Structure 1
Amino acid sequence: MTDQPVNILMVDDDEDDFFLVSQLLQDISPGQYQLDWAPTYSKAVEEIDRKKHDIYLVDYRLGPYTGIDILHHFQQLEYRAPVIVLTGKGDYTIDKEAMQAGASDYLVKGEISADQLERSIRYALDEAHHLRVIEENEKKYFGVFEKAHDLIILADCDKNVIDANPAALRNLKYSKEEMLNLNLKELFYHEDQYRHFFENICGEDSSLRTEYNFLTKEGRKLDVMVSAVTLDETEQIFLCVAQDITERKREEQEKQQQQKFVVTGRIARVIAHEVRNPLTNILLAVSQFKGEPVDPEESQVYVDIIERNCTRINQLITELLHSTRMMELNIQPHGINELTDKALTLAQDRLQLNEIKVNKDYLKQDIIIPADEEKVVIALLNIIINAIEAMTPGKGVLTVQTLQQKDKAVITISDNGPGIPEEMKMRLFDPFFTSKPKGTGLGLTSTQNIVMNHKGTIHVESEPEAGSTFTITLPVNG
């Protein structure tokens, strides 16, 4: 109980009964209860309309009226206050009728003890409090359910739709009646998707978040991100919230197409630039053969020019193909410490020439991963060479670390160079993108391709004047 007294209204036309109940309440706890009296139906209705009491004790017999009439008045007001009905001994039919009409409890006059009255009041107040909390939560849920922009559907594991919010009806083009007659599998565009959905939601996990395709009544496909969770395991009822991502996916596809055009255009411009120079040399050499006859010694010079530039063009095309194509891998078990050391060994001459200090922080016990040794070493070597070229000779520090994160092997390569500008980071792995005067721009493209072919990831972090860190993550189990 709270520090404030419990306000009770007793509706009874017998003053002796009022006095008796008042004494019982004083016996329970003096000052804990404030009891008011309404001796008539009209006075009772007047007090009830004011809604100032916490609980009501109502005698069944009130002259021409009954306690059931009082309960009906509560219903008309939609006032859900706890009501305890006082009945005569043996009035079991009346007791049942009172409970059906909304009474919290009933007590038999002449048999009421202080403990019994206190317990009945306490239970009725607790029940009323719990019902209010439930009602408030229901109102909150109903508000979210009705006003949410996402599609919300309640269903059971028999695949029957139990309820759907306005957003679901609006987006799926069904009426409420049509939706409630649907089997949920009819909303899935692909049969394998609804099978996957129900295997997960009705399985052990009882929750999921996956992208699916829904089908509207008009036959239009909706791309949706579905989050679902089981609400009642006994009844096997689950809540399904579907976010319509159709427009977002369309915009992403358009953006990807635009990016493809941008990349394709950039590659085309670089190829045109790289190939045009040797082609110009070839054409100039060929033009010499079209003019005056040249002696054999001079013609050999022009033939060499043609051959050298044709070879250059062939090399450019080969490098481009190797840097971007899916490759065949010779997978064998190798340690990440072992692979990293081999890449450092190949870069040893450059490290010494530039007086670069190397810090190694390896795992004490090497992690074995499935890898193509030659290709992974090349990928690491490309990053190491870039780091060497980025640092000031005599002041450079190269830090190489290996570690394990769950089922992933991680290799980080850090330098203390000037860092990579933000606008360059976005294009770092693009074919032919380079900041080096004589670079082809295919080294990091090739590195990324090798890592991706090993089902791994590569990520770069860099801050101006704070150096750069490349992180390669490779799966331990392939």
Structure 2
Amino acid sequence: MTDQPVHILMIDDDEDDFYLVSQLLQDISPGQYQLDWAPTYSKAVEEIDRKVHDIYLADYRLGPYTGIDILHHFQQLEYKAPVIMLTGKGDYTIDKEAMQAGASDYLVKGEISADLLERSIRYALDEARHLRIIEENEKKYFGVFEKAHDLIILADCDKNVIDANPSAIRTLQYSKEEMLDLNLKQLFFLEEQSKHFFDHICGEDSSLRTEYNFVTKHGKKLDVMVSAVMLDDAEQIFLCVVQDITERKREELEKQQQQKFVVTGRIARVIAHEVRNPLTNILLAVSQFKGEPVSMEDSQVYVDIIERNCTRINQLITELLHSTRMIELNVHQHGVNELTDKALALAQDRLQLNEISVRKDYVKQDVLIPADEDKVVIALLNIIINAVEAMTPGKGLLTLQTTKQRDKAIITIGDNGPGIPEETKSRLFDPFFTNKPKGTGLGLTSTQNIIMNHKGTVHVESEEGEGSVFTIVLPTN
């Protein structure tokens, strides 16, 4: 019980019964209960309408009225306070009628003890509190169901739609009645997607989150993300929360197309920059031939300039194509620890020459990935060499770590070099971008291409003065 007294209204036309109950409540716990009295039906109705009592004790017999009339008044008010009916001995039909009319309990006059009364009040209050919590939760979840922007559909493994919220009805363009008559598989654009969904939700998984294509009543195709969970295994009833991602997918496609234009423009600028210098030399040499006649000796010099710069242009284009084209892979199962160690072995001379320390933290059981060994080793070697060249000789620390997360193998390669400026980091994988005096600027471009061809990703985290960490994520299947 709380610190506040329990307010009780006793509805009974017998004052002796009121005093008897009052005394019993005092015996239970003085001050814990506050008992008020309504000796008539009209007084009872007046007090009930005020809704100030926690619980009601109602005698069945109230002159021309009965306790059932009191219960009916509660129903008319939609007031769900607990009511304990007081009946005479042997009135079993009345007891049953009272419970059916909404009474929380009944007590037989003449058999009421302090313990029995206390237990009945406590149970009635507890039951009322639990029912109130359930009702509040039902209202809350019903509000979520009704107002949610996502489509919510309740269905069973016979593919029957049991219920659907307004968003589902509105988006799928069916009426409520049509939705409830619908076979859920009719919402799937492709039959194989419907089969995939039911095989999983009605199989051993009992939950899933997958992209599908739905179709509206009028044939419009929707891209949707379906999250489903089995609510009742026995009845095979499940809940689907469906997000309409049609607009998001369209925006993603537009963004990808814009990024393609950006990448194309960037490559065009790189090519223009790298090709312009040798092309300028060629044009200058050609202009000399067009001017005054030149000696054989000078002619040879100009021819050499043209040949050398044409070769340079050809070399640049060849390197660019090799670094960015889709490559043919010779795939076998290899461990990420094994591949990382092979790349490290190839960099051993540079590590020793620069007196670089190495710290390894590998996953204990090597993680196998489908990989072209030579190409992945080259990709890792490029990152290791960049790390070595970034660090101060004699003070460098190269850290190598391998881990597994679900169906992904992760390799991280870190250094304690000066870090990468923010404006440089965004261009790190661009073709021909380099800060090295003799670098081609294609090492990391080639690395990214190799990793992407393995359906993986590579990204870098770096702060100036804090070093850099390259993270390579590769699928295990």
* TM-score, length basis structure 2: 0.87
Letter in structure 1 aligned against 2:59 = D
Contact 1:156 1:237 in 2 (8 A): yes
SS at match of 2:253: helix
CA shift, 1:129, in A, is 0.8
Contact 1:433 1:442 in 2 (8 A): yes
Aligned to 1:132: 132
Aligned to 2:327: 327
The root-mean-square deviation of aligned C-alpha atoms, in Å, is 3.2
- 1:309-458 pair list within 5 angstroms: 309-332=309-332, 336=336, 339-348=339-348, 350-351=350-351, 355-361=354-360, 363=362, 367=366, 369=368, 370-392=370-392, 394=393, 397-405=396-404, 409-436=409-436, 438-458=438-458
SS at match of 1:174: coil
Q: Distance in 2 between matches of 1:342 and 1:7?
A: 81
Aligned to 1:165: 165
Contact 2:401 2:413 in 1 (8 A): no
Contact 1:396 1:415 in 2 (8 A): no
Instruction: In structure 2, list runs of 5 or more residues that go unmatched.
Output: none
Evaluate the alpha carbon distance shift between residue 386 and residue 448 of structure 1 in structure 2; reply closer, same or farther with a 3 A threshold. same
Letter in structure 1 aligned against 2:366 = I
CA shift, 1:315, in A, is 2.7
Q: Distance in 1 between matches of 2:399 and 2:22?
A: 85
Letter in structure 2 aligned against 1:249 = K
CA shift, 1:325, in A, is 2.6
CA shift, 1:323, in A, is 1.7
Summarize deviations over 1:102-136 as a string: whole Å, max 9, x none: 11122333444444333322221111111111111
Aligned to 1:184: 184
Number of aligned positions between the proteins? 475
Q: Distance in 2 between matches of 1:151 and 1:172?
A: 9
Paired-residue identity, % = 83
- 1:191-230 pair list within 5 angstroms: 191-230=191-230
Summarize deviations over 1:130-182 as a string: whole Å, max 9, x none: 11111111222223223322222333333333333333333333333333332
Evaluate the alpha carbon distance shift between residue 439 and residue 51 of structure 1 in structure 2; reply closer, same or farther with a 3 A threshold. same
Evaluate the alpha carbon distance shift between residue 44 and residue 330 of structure 1 in structure 2; reply closer, same or farther with a 3 A threshold. same
Q: Distance in 1 between matches of 2:347 and 2:9?
A: 93
Contact 1:10 1:38 in 2 (8 A): yes
Q: Distance in 2 between matches of 1:187 and 1:400?
A: 52
Summarize deviations over 1:251-274 as a string: whole Å, max 9, x none: 222121111101101112222333
Q: Distance in 2 between matches of 1:368 and 1:102?
A: 65
Q: Distance in 1 between matches of 2:139 and 2:202?
A: 28
Contact 2:367 2:404 in 1 (8 A): no
SS at match of 2:56: strand
Contact 2:270 2:431 in 1 (8 A): no
Contact 2:387 2:398 in 1 (8 A): no
- Larger mean CA deviation between 300-309 and 109-118 belongs to 300-309
Summarize deviations over 1:350-404 as a string: whole Å, max 9, x none: 5566x35232325496836454332222212221332344345x46514132333
Aligned to 2:48: 48
Summarize deviations over 1:159-212 as a string: whole Å, max 9, x none: 333333333333333333333332332333333333333333333443333333
Letter in structure 1 aligned against 2:399 = V
* TM-score, length basis structure 1: 0.86
Evaluate the alpha carbon distance shift between residue 180 and residue 25 of structure 1 in structure 2; reply closer, same or farther with a 3 A threshold. same
Evaluate the alpha carbon distance shift between residue 21 and residue 411 of structure 1 in structure 2; reply closer, same or farther with a 3 A threshold. closer
Contact 1:402 1:409 in 2 (8 A): no
Contact 1:388 1:396 in 2 (8 A): no
SS at match of 1:428: coil
Instruction: In structure 1, list runs of 5 or more residues that go unmatched.
Output: none
Evaluate the alpha carbon distance shift between residue 129 and residue 351 of structure 1 in structure 2; reply closer, same or farther with a 3 A threshold. closer
Summarize deviations over 1:62-96 as a string: whole Å, max 9, x none: 22112111111111111101112223344333333
